Amino acid sequence: MKVFFLFLSVLTSLLGFIYYYSTFRLISGLSLVGPVVTVILIGIGALVLLVPITYIFSRVSKREKTQTFFAYVSFTNFGFFSILFTLVLFMDLLRVVDLGIVSEYSQLLFTTLLRFGFPIDGITEVKNFSLAFSTIVIATALSSLGFYNAHVRLRYKHTKIKDKNLHSDLKGFKIVQISDVHIGPTIKEKFLRRVVAKINVQTPDVVVITGDLVDGPAATLKHHLKPLADIKSKYGTFYVTGNHEYYSGVLPWLPEIEALGIRVLLNENQIINIGSAKLLMAGVTDLTAGSMIKSHQTNPKRAMLGGENSDYKILLAHQPNSVYEANKIGFDLQISGHTHGGQFFPGNILIYFAQKFVAGLHDYKGTKIYVSRGTGYWGPPFRLGAPSEISVLELQSLD
């Protein structure tokens, strides 16, 4: 719980800066004065505090519909202001670097707004007003698109994993991966049921869930995982923990997940016999797990035990950075999530400064690594520039 409250404190401080910086810059640009400014600033303060309050409320309240409503309000604002903040910084840059184009655009927009009856005839700073007005409109449009993408556009991402030494009996072996579903404040059973239906359409050989399945306590959210019991695959469903399971209290979750017929791999493995081939399905705990539960320290070497002579070795690891150890130990393929591909603008750009392997298929010294952009979302219900996915991976020979 200490980690959770530390996380909320840092998040709230960051949001306070983002919300108020954006607001003050736009108030200045729009030339707002008087009581309306006071009302706006009080409202912004309420929105900042709503995010941590909502997160705490989602973990203790049994009024699910009310909790979901407030979560949508607070996290949608969180996403909107994240986009707005980026655009405000860009707006400030344009105020300095004009090149003539900005001034011409500003005058055209201002004249058009006057023609349509906007009460702005007393505005003297035309460029500042036009930039501020445009920033708000663009942020609203991008947020609306991001909200739509997160709730409507859930697509398959097909990828062929080629290996020159692949056993002939493993050719065409199909793995369907979901990751970072984040069952919690705004993602519930209805979404997961839709995901499971799309999984089953693919008739997978195996299904893997690579962490951050849940984002809250088992006591209040466990019933939302029921659709996972309906997954149909030839060789079963495998799961590894992500960092958010540990924030949520991982120990009560593990038996709930196992009860759904899912094999939980905590630095463990299972060998699957496919014809005359042996496929190793191994899984490690999250990279940060050991800092919260010592016995859950991630251990790829232990996950390999007994499977060293398998024809193909797969490691499920929530964070892509596990690949450095996975490669040393001899895994052929690592399947990961965690990054969300940055989830939405500007995160889909900034993520490349934090992660080497952001999305899709990569090769690290002979070990293939596939990173999912995630199936759900965390926090803001947005997907923009980093679409959610159900990953369909197929093993293929180079021949």
Shared domain check, 263 and 175: yes
Residue 65: count other Cβ atoms within 10 Å of its Cβ: 6
Distance of CA 232 to the CA centre of its chain: 25
Q: What are 81-91's pLDDT values in tens digits?
A: 999 999 999 99
Shared domain check, 170 and 73: no
Q: Read off the CATH number of the domain in which 167 is found.
A: 3.60.21.10
Shared domain check, 189 and 126: no
The whole-model pTM stands at 0.91
Distance (Å, rounded) from C-alpha 55 to C-alpha 50?
Answer: 8
Shared domain check, 164 and 107: no
Shared domain check, 304 and 390: yes
Q: Among residues 115, 149, 183, which one ends one of the domains?
A: 149
Does residue 122 register a pLDDT over 70? no
Q: What are 287-341's pLDDT values in tens digits?
A: 999 999 999 999 999 999 999 999 999 999 999 999 999 999 999 999 999 999 9
Number of domains in the chain: 2
Q: What is the DSSP letter of 234?
A: S
Q: Among residues 149, 165, 198, which one ends one of the domains?
A: 149
Q: Which two tokens stand for residue 346?
A: 């500007």
Does residue 24 register a pLDDT over 80? yes
Q: Among residues 149, 184, 206, which one ends one of the domains?
A: 149
Length of the chain: 399
Average pLDDT of 255-261? 98
Shared domain check, 180 and 302: yes
Shared domain check, 214 and 322: yes
Shared domain check, 190 and 104: no
Shared domain check, 173 and 72: no
Average pLDDT, the chain: 93
Shared domain check, 212 and 74: no
Shared domain check, 136 and 35: yes
Q: What's the domain range around 94?
A: 1-149
Shared domain check, 145 and 159: no
First to last CA, the chain: 52
Distance (Å, rounded) from C-alpha 127 to C-alpha 104?
Answer: 9
